[in-house]
Structure 1
Amino acid sequence: MALNASLNKFKNELSDAATRNAQYSRPTSTAPARTGTPKLGDGAKRTHGTAFSNSQPAPAAPTNTLHSGGAGGELMTQVWNSVNYLKEKSPQSITFDYLISYLSLPVDAQKNIPLIKRILSTHDRVTYLSRSESGTGKESFQYRPFYPITNAEELKEYMGIAAQRTATGIPVKDLKDGWPDCAASLDRLEREGFILVTRQKKDNAPKTVYPDSPSYHILNPISQLPQKADTDFVDIWAKTKLPGSEIELRNALEAARLTPTSQVKEVQRGMQKKKERRKVNRKGGKTTNNHMLGILKDYTRK
């Protein structure tokens, strides 16, 4: 009986202690338990999702101020499309209202309209036209090519001015920026003697344009076009060969009794005589004012 009473008392004290400890126990973690690696004998493999189930989600990408409205809402894309459209319609000017309607901006990208106008106004490939300059009463924009040339007459005028300033040519690829179909006109102006054209060896396509003038050519009396040089002159020009090296060129000049610029000038010391410097008598002599003899008093005795 005594043992049973002691056992019951122990069970009651143990139950009371467990209850007290439960009140001060640590909170259980809310994180899911990590899945252990299966053994080789289990025949199962971890999937990618299971292996990285505890990884933190990737942070959201920062929002870009140049983007708004998803597809077609990027600001710089809208500007590029505007410039490209102005280039297609060059040299025609396009009103800003029509340009916005061409872009077909989504509703949430309408707020970019003032920014598009501001960027186009300062773009180096676009010319802004005010309401009075456009002639339509609306603000307009016009594409600005690398060279202000869109036809043959403008090219002739520009080449006439360029010939007075510099002999630098115009690359045809830059000329096509404002005049895409210029190849036929370049061939005609070259035949008429207004320009000189260098061409590609592969397909004879024009490469660079240089200034020229019909006054530099001998015109055909019938067609009034620059005629080719005589065959005799071409043959003489082709047969005339220049020396292949500097030594041959120097020998040819010496044979013609000409002094080449590369010849070393030898100075003969015996031929040069040192000029003697003339000594100047700087001693002060006695000076008298003979022309003042009747006016000044004589103090030589004193």
Structure 2
Amino acid sequence: ATMALLKPNSASRLGAPSPTPSNSSASATKRKRHEDVAPAAVVYSQPQETGTGNHVYTQLTYTIEHLRSTQKWMTFKEIMNYLNIPENDHETRSHLETLYRSENPANRVEYNPKDNTYRYKPKYDIRNTSELKGWLQNQKSAQGLSVKDLKDGWHSVQDDIKTLEDKQEVLVKRNQKDSLAKTVWINDPSLMHKMDDDFKHQWHGILLPPNPDDLRNKLLGAGLKPSSAPREATSTKPKEKKRKAPRRGGKQTNTHMASILKDFSHMRK
């Protein structure tokens, strides 16, 4: 009877009861929307080698490093093949050829116009033992040569200098840490004389006094002045300059006006 009292459209206006959640839906984890998921972190690595580079000065650097490692004459075509520069890239090829043949002292590419070849140009044009001895003999002074500068264009310089040293043709200063040659000088083997064994024995038999004061007393006893003697203080007082006496008298002038001017010579001090 109660249902009969309801209007026909009243049932549609009543909210439908919500369904009872099941055990599976109640315990399930709330799903995340696709846009809520954080993207995975992207790890950026170092850029990979993409070629020899397009910049002409980058190509020049690659050329110098390649010529330094090979230490031999190369044609322009061989260098272009190493740099992987196309034959139709006339602008880059022309620019590089101009840089290779530049007379700038800082240019590290040596050009041979006889056969149009190129090689690395080190600081010193020394690549073997004969060139080293010639350079040391022709220099005006007896200055040594840094082995580090020679290694730039002479990879086996350490072994070759050791060979010259064994022949007593050069004098070598070595590093204390690794015994590698540091500086090299020219030497004359004819001036190298073998010392007598008796002289060596006598030389090493002379021992210095263990106490420095004993050595000082022996020098004083022999009438020698030891280097540890105090220096005598020298006077640094400047010499007094003599003052010049004022000049008296002198040649008189205006004698034709003596009758007019008054004489004040008696008032001079």
Category of TM-score, reference length = shorter chain: 0.5 to 0.7
Gaps of 5+ in 2: 1-27, 40-49, 235-241, 250-269
SS at match of 1:142: strand
Contact 1:169 1:211 in 2 (8 A): no
Same amino acid, percent of matched pairs: 28
| 1:152 has 2:124 as partner | no
Contact 2:169 2:189 in 1 (8 A): yes
In the other structure, the counterpart of 2:144 is 168
Letter in 1 for 2:230: Q
- Map 1:123-162 to 2 at 5 A: 124=106, 126-129=108-111, 134-136=113-115, 138=116, 140-162=117-139
Shift of 1:151: 1.6
Contact 1:196 1:212 in 2 (8 A): yes
Shift of 1:156: 1.0
TM-score (norm 1): 0.51
**1:132-151 CA distance string (max 9 Å, x none):** x5212x4x433112322112
Task: Call closer, same or farther: CA 1:97–1:242 in 2, change over 3 Å.
Answer: farther
Shift of 1:154: 1.1
Shift of 1:237: 3.4
Residue-pair matches, total: 209
In the other structure, the counterpart of 1:80 is 61
Contact 1:126 1:141 in 2 (8 A): no
- Map 1:178-193 to 2 at 5 A: 178-193=153-168
- Map 1:237-252 to 2 at 5 A: 237-241=203-207, 250-252=216-218
**1:222-252 CA distance string (max 9 Å, x none):** xxxxxx4222233333344456787565434
**1:259-289 CA distance string (max 9 Å, x none):** 235433278xxxxxxxxx9xx9x989xxxxx
SS at match of 1:98: helix
| 1:257 has 2:223 as partner | yes
- Map 1:213-232 to 2 at 5 A: 213-218=188-193, 228-232=194-198
Letter in 1 for 2:162: D
Gaps of 5+ in 1: 1-40, 53-69, 219-227, 268-276, 285-302
Shift of 1:82: 1.1
Contact 2:168 2:187 in 1 (8 A): yes
In the other structure, the counterpart of 2:78 is 98
In the other structure, the counterpart of 1:198 is 173
Hey, what's the Cα distance between the residues in 2 that align with 1:245 and 1:48?
Answer: 89
Contact 2:144 2:183 in 1 (8 A): no
Hey, what's the Cα distance between the residues in 2 that align with 1:210 and 1:243?
Answer: 35
Shift of 1:257: 0.9
Shift of 1:178: 1.9
Letter in 1 for 2:173: T
Contact 1:127 1:141 in 2 (8 A): yes
TM-score (norm 2): 0.56
Hey, what's the Cα distance between the residues in 2 that align with 1:49 and 1:234?
Answer: 91
| 1:211 has 2:186 as partner | yes
